């Protein structure tokens, strides 16, 4: 059996025993993502004045903006809707991980990134009144969005979840 096949089997096999250790892994990943994202928000909030940029290199700037809405700046001023939706979604995924009968290893891992990033954006809304966005990637055609580390963690969980779920996990 090849290493790729072994990895695929490990990641997509239903968790029947050791659920507690996978839940612990989910919790640790979530907590690490939450802590790192909150550290980024704190540092940007205290060191980069709102509306200003710090050039890191020709492609990357740290630009301190506030998102009072949701994804891609939609529904400005209605951030509470996205915060409430995020809390409900995270509660549903935790319930799924705790009670699900055929939860896979990759789901514990990927949902850890998604939950940690989602909780960080909710916490930003509670602490700062908005989400602090600052990662400003330049030079990409048709891209003018500024995002944060929490969004990055959400994507680090979401895309592997979709890839594995659609291409490897079949039953």
Catalytic site residue 133? yes
The confidence score (pLDDT) of residue 84 equals: 77
- Residue of 124, 133, 136, 171 marked catalytic: 133
Catalytic site residue 136? no
Q: Which residue has the higher pLDDT, 37 or 166?
A: 37
- Lowest-confidence region among 4-8, 46-50, 166-170: 4-8
Q: How far apart are CA 59 and CA 67, in angstroms?
A: 22
User: CA-CA-CA-CA torsion for 162, 167, 169, 171, nearest 10 degrees?
Assistant: 120
The confidence score (pLDDT) of residue 59 equals: 94
Tell me the sheet residues that pair with 146: 136
- Residue of 124, 136, 151, 171 marked catalytic: 151
Mean pLDDT within 107-126: 94
Q: Which residue has the higher pLDDT, 27 or 13?
A: 27
Examine the pLDDT at 124 and tell me if it is beyond 60: yes
Examine the pLDDT at 171 and tell me if it is beyond 60: no
Angle made by CA atoms 61, 66, 67, in degrees to the nearest 5 = 110
The confidence score (pLDDT) of residue 128 equals: 92
């Amino acid at each position: 059996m090849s290493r790729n096949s072994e990895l695929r089997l490990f990641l997509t096999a239903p968790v029947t025993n050791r659920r507690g250790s996978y839940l612990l892994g989910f919790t640790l990943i979530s907590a690490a993502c939450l802590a790192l994202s909150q550290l980024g928000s704190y540092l940007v909030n205290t060191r980069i004045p709102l509306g200003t940029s710090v050039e890191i290199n020709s492609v990357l700037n740290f630009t301190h903006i506030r998102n009072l809405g949701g994804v891609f700046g939609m529904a400005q001023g209605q951030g509470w809707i996205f915060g409430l939706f995020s809390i409900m979604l995270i509660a549903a995924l935790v319930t799924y991980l705790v009670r699900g009968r055929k939860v896979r290893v990759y789901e514990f891992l990927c949902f850890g990134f998604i939950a940690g990033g989602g909780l960080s954006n909710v916490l930003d809304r509670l602490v700062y009144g908005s989400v602090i966005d600052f990662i400003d990637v330049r030079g990409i055609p048709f891209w003018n969005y500024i995002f944060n580390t929490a969004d990055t963690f959400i994507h680090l969980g979401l895309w592997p979840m979709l890839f594995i779920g659609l291409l490897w996990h079949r039953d």
